[in-house]
Chains A and B, each alone.
Chain A
Amino acid sequence: QVQLQESGPGLVKPSETLSLTCTVSAYSINSGYYWGWIRQPPGKGLEWIGTIYHSGNTYYNPSLKSRVTVSVDTSKNQFSLQLRSATAADTAVYYCARAVWVGATGVWFDSWGQGTLVTVSS
């Protein structure tokens, strides 16, 4: 059973970079699947941030694309999120998840981390 665990600072100052890492257990990132980040502001719905394949192929939410980088480190079986120029609007629970990609029919997330709350505040 694959397990995902988010880690990173719980508090980020405005204008700084929000950085999170997702460590994957019981499954090798190199073996396939895509890997993604989703966030949820307090009391609100889910927002997709971006998705990456182990080869480095990435897809990003157009509304965040200019500030986001998702990367993968296969040697550590981890993937990461960087969100630059953070503002209070980026305060949210951030989830990492495994994504199943089936050709033209699209992608869904079959396993999720427990989530980590990141607050952007001075």
Chain B
Amino acid sequence: SYVLTQPPSVSVAPGQTARIPCGGNNIGSKTVHWYQQKPGQAPVLVVYDDRDRPSGIPERFSGSNSGNTATLTVSRVEAGDEADYYCQVWDSSSDHVVFGGGTKLTVL
């Protein structure tokens, strides 16, 4: 089955740029979606279709996808961005949804 790999944690100072990778075999051929989850809350979609943002999500959140790595980029990081972030794809070869293991973004 298809596997998505994320680092357990990423740390960044306020105002800097955080890049959260999501690795998968030829992930560039799939479309990747990203969710933000704060403690005790449900996940929130922040990027879909590799790079599109739902209404209400700040432009500071952006996505890219190529080769074996998709990346969620959070620019001008704020304390309120501290959360767990999950990538997700649809594996068409087996017809099921796959989530990455999640990355905890810590704002120093």
- Taking beta carbons and an 8 Å cutoff, which residues of A are in contact with B? 36, 38, 45-48, 51, 59-62, 95, 100, 102, 104-110, 112-115
Of the candidates A48, A61, A106, A112, the one having the most CB atoms from chain B within 10 angstroms of its own CB is A106
Q: Secondary structure at chain A's binding surface: helix, strand, loop or mixed?
A: strand
A108 & B88 in contact (Cβ 8 Å cutoff): yes
A45 & B49 in contact (Cβ 8 Å cutoff): no
Q: In the complex, what residues of B have CB within 8 A of residue A61's CB?
A: 96-97
B31 & A105 in contact (Cβ 8 Å cutoff): yes
- Taking beta carbons and an 8 Å cutoff, which residues of B are in contact with A? 1, 30-31, 33, 35, 37, 41-45, 48-49, 54, 86, 88-90, 92, 94-102
One of A46, A62, A102 near B96 (C-beta < 8 A): A62
The distance in angstroms between the C-alpha atoms of A62 and B35, with both chains bound, is: 23
Give A1 Cβ to nearest chain B Cβ, in Å. 10
One of B35, B45, B96 near A59 (C-beta < 8 A): B96
Give B25 Cβ to nearest chain A Cβ, in Å. 16
Q: In the complex, what residues of B have CB within 8 A of residue A114's CB?
A: 41-42
Of the candidates A51, A108, A112, A113, the one having the most CB atoms from chain B within 10 angstroms of its own CB is A108
The distance in angstroms between the C-alpha atoms of A106 and B96, with both chains bound, is: 9
One of A36, A46, A59 near B43 (C-beta < 8 A): A46
A106 & B89 in contact (Cβ 8 Å cutoff): yes
A105 & B49 in contact (Cβ 8 Å cutoff): yes
